[in-house]
Amino acid sequence: MFATYALVSYGIQGFLIVATQGVLTPSGPEDSSSDGFLLRHLVAYARRNLDEDVTMNDTYTRKMDEDYMRHALQLAAQGRGRTAPNPMVGAVIVNNGRIIGKGYHERCGEAHAEVNAFRNATEDVEGACMYVTLEPCSHEGRTPPCADRIIAEKISRVVIGATDPNPLVSGTGIARLRSAGIDVVTGVLADESTLLNEVFMKYILEKEPFVTLKLAMSLDGKIATSTGESQWISCEASRYRVHELRDMSTGILVGVGTVLADDPQLTCRIPGGANPVRIVADSALRTPEDARILHTLDETPTIIATTQRADARKVDRIRERGAQVIVFDDPDGRVPLKALMRQLGSQGIDSILAEGGSTLAASLLAEECVDKVHWFIAPMLIGGEDAKTPLGGRGIERLADAVRLTRMTTDSVGEDILLTGYIERG
């Protein structure tokens, strides 16, 4: 009867605790009394459910960390296209299950996410937990070390998304926090944080820009008609998406063929959007001196990459207009794209959207410059043996040499389909 009494007196939660602590025990497996029978089953139930409860609490703690980190990632994404060459970072400060401060890195040279979170805190942060998408910096740059600020603010726990690959930081921020007695948890939504900063992750290690190749074609694989007409294959929604990509990129790259055929401005036409640096691969410097990319230098810079084949007097005239001309001494008389990437990286250009035609696209892939591909497919059929396809050049002779993509995703953009993938590296 004692088991029944305990169940009634303590309630189910109280009974579970008392039972599993050994306060209630049956006299043995041979105890066949109704009380012993009930007690054995209730104790088994108690242990099973308390084990589940512990698991639920552990899961909840992990889920809570992931939920707050996800919020920090959403904050970080608000800095997209504005923090280069710095990473996008978000931070959230939590105390007793409440968000009391949050912030993100808004622009290169300005306060980091952690500092903005402290500035926006609604109460004292001592003893609180901070969620930050990337390891806090520990070196003196344009701003003081964030790790020192976290220590000074007496944060008790720091949850970090991804480790910073920057050799000036990598692991040292975490070590500094731990040496100060702060509980540090790492790797929470690390993949998401790394993906968010895919540009930074490459640039900080290789000092070359992250290159995204954008292509648009008809359903039967044509980028223009047999007469060369190409405007417009993709729908209006897709073209708007491309301008969003321009807004997120530091530079935009085309071949001289695009300049000659379309005389584009290569600017971002989203209200409030940022114009990328315009880059033209032009081995013989055929870019017209009255091209729009040379008449709108007050809007955004233009860089023309050429070779020793260029007319030296034309090089001087274009430079006098305010454009940068990079002359490569290439034995084949072609712009060496890999070398161009290194040059652009040294100038702080960390991301490039490549929008050129089939020749440039094929060359970028051949020289292993491309990291990511956005491939728009329009629901139309063009046909024609002479109509151009997305990739020019000689192509490959063996399927074993094909460029393969991984992590493919599919999206609907207006009437079009957008395929996105990453170049598979050997």
Please tell me the predicted confidence (pLDDT) of residue 171.
87
14 pLDDT exceeds 70? no
Mean confidence (pLDDT) of the chain = 86
Section 127-138 average pLDDT: 95
Other Cβ atoms within 10 Å of 126 Cβ, number: 10
Q: Which of 66, 106, 110, 114 is catalytic?
A: 114
Confidence at 57, pLDDT banded by 50, 70, 90: very low
30 pLDDT exceeds 50? no
Section 411-422 average pLDDT: 96
Confidence at 138, pLDDT banded by 50, 70, 90: confident
Are residues 251 and 277 in contact, defined by beta-carbon separation less than 8 angstroms?
Answer: yes
Q: Find tokens 């009494």 and name the residue.
A: 5
Section 375-393 average pLDDT: 92
Amino acid in the structure at residue 318: I
Q: What count of residues does the chain have?
A: 426
Alpha carbon of residue 289 to chain centroid: 37
Angle at 372 between CA 366 and CA 377, to 5 degrees: 95
Rg (CA), the chain: 30
pLDDT per residue as tens digits for the range 251-281: 999 999 999 989 999 999 999 899 999 999 9
Section 90-96 average pLDDT: 96
Please tell me the predicted confidence (pLDDT) of residue 230.
83
158 pLDDT exceeds 50? yes
Distance CA 90, CA 117 (A): 9
Amino acid in the structure at residue 70: R
pLDDT per residue as tens digits for the range 363-382: 999 999 999 999 999 999 99
The contacts of residue 99 (CB under 8 Å, 6+ apart) are 68, 71, 92, 93
**Lowest mean pLDDT across 4-13, 190-199, 388-397:** 4-13
Q: Find tokens 């100060």 and name the residue.
A: 180
The conformational region for residue 28 under phi > 0 = left, psi -120 to 50 = alpha, else beta, is left
Please tell me the predicted confidence (pLDDT) of residue 22.
41
Beta-bridge partners for 183: 157
Specify the higher pLDDT residue, 39 or 292: 292
Q: How far is CA 155 from CA 45, 126, 138, 160, in A?
A: 40, 5, 16, 13
Section 5-17 average pLDDT: 39
Please tell me the predicted confidence (pLDDT) of residue 15.
40
**DSSP track, 300-318:** S-EEEEEETTS-HHHHHHH
Please tell me the predicted confidence (pLDDT) of residue 169.
79
Return phi, psi of residue 392, to 5°.
Answer: -95, -145
pLDDT per residue as tens digits for the range 203-259: 999 999 999 999 999 999 999 888 888 888 999 999 999 999 999 999 999 999 999
Local structure of residue 399 (DSSP, 8 states): G
Confidence at 200, pLDDT banded by 50, 70, 90: very high
Q: How far apart are the first and last CA of the chain?
A: 71
Please tell me the predicted confidence (pLDDT) of residue 6.
42
The contacts of residue 23 (CB under 8 Å, 6+ apart) are none
Q: Find tokens 């990511």 and name the residue.
A: 372
24 pLDDT exceeds 90? no
Section 394-415 average pLDDT: 93
Q: Is 30 a catalytic residue?
A: no
pLDDT per residue as tens digits for the range 317-352: 999 999 999 999 988 889 999 999 999 999 999 999
Local structure of residue 276 (DSSP, 8 states): P
Section 178-194 average pLDDT: 95
Confidence at 31, pLDDT banded by 50, 70, 90: very low
| Three-class secondary structure assignment of 97-130 | CEEEEEEECCCCCCCCHHHHHHHCCCCCCCCCEE
